[in-house]
Amino acid sequence: MDDWKGYRRISLEIVLTENQKEILVKHAQSNFPNESCALLFGTDDSKTCTVKDVFLVENVEKSPINFTISNEELLKGYKEAERKKLDVIGIFHSHPHSEAVPSLTDKEFMVGNPVVWVIFSNKHNDFKAYILESSMVQVSVKIV
């Protein structure tokens, strides 16, 4: 994750379909008790990020408190997004045992990956999104 060049833009809202949400929740549940992760492909008009596709990836750490996406899968994800003429607009991961709030480790990685971070809490069945600009900004999650 260290040198992933993200897509820098302030977004105030991220839009997901009910179906995409369901795919992410199932992914989070099937990886429980460990964290799960995914890349979110879509479009971004500076105020709204619209998710068009969800690219599920493996948490190679298999950890309940951290996640790491292999460089191979990241590369695969980027190629797939490009093929679909979409951008990687977000990173999804789950918090199996805690709130949908960025951990200290998340914050560190958010510095290098300035896309929208969507976090699902299995514990509270709750989706929240954030972007780190000069400070942490909460992004509203809209399900359509």
Residues interacting with Zn ion, by CB under 5 A?
A: 103, 106
- Point out the residue whose Cβ comes nearest to Zn ion: 106
Q: Give the C-alpha separation, 69 to 27, whole Å.
A: 15
In the complex with Zn ion, the residue whose CB is nearer, 35 or 87, is 35
In the complex with Zn ion, the residue whose CB is nearer, 39 or 86, is 39
In the complex with Zn ion, the residue whose CB is nearer, 65 or 144, is 65
**Least Å distance between CB 115 and Zn ion?**
14
Give Dmax (Cα) for the chain. Answer: 36
Question: Per the structure block, which two tokens stand in for 13?
Answer: 């809202």
Question: Per the structure block, which two tokens stand in for 33?
Answer: 């008790």
In the complex with Zn ion, the residue whose CB is nearer, 44 or 106, is 106
**Least Å distance between CB 93 and Zn ion?**
5
| Bridge pairing between strands 37-44 and 48-57 | antiparallel
**Least Å distance between CB 144 and Zn ion?**
25
Residue the block writes with tokens 């099937």 = 30
Question: Which neighbouring-strand residues pair with 78?
Answer: none
**Least Å distance between CB 104 and Zn ion?**
9
Question: Per the structure block, which two tokens stand in for 79?
Answer: 């190629």
In the complex with Zn ion, the residue whose CB is nearer, 105 or 140, is 105
**Least Å distance between CB 89 and Zn ion?**
18
DSSP at 87:
E
Q: Give the C-alpha separation, 31 to 43, whole Å.
A: 27
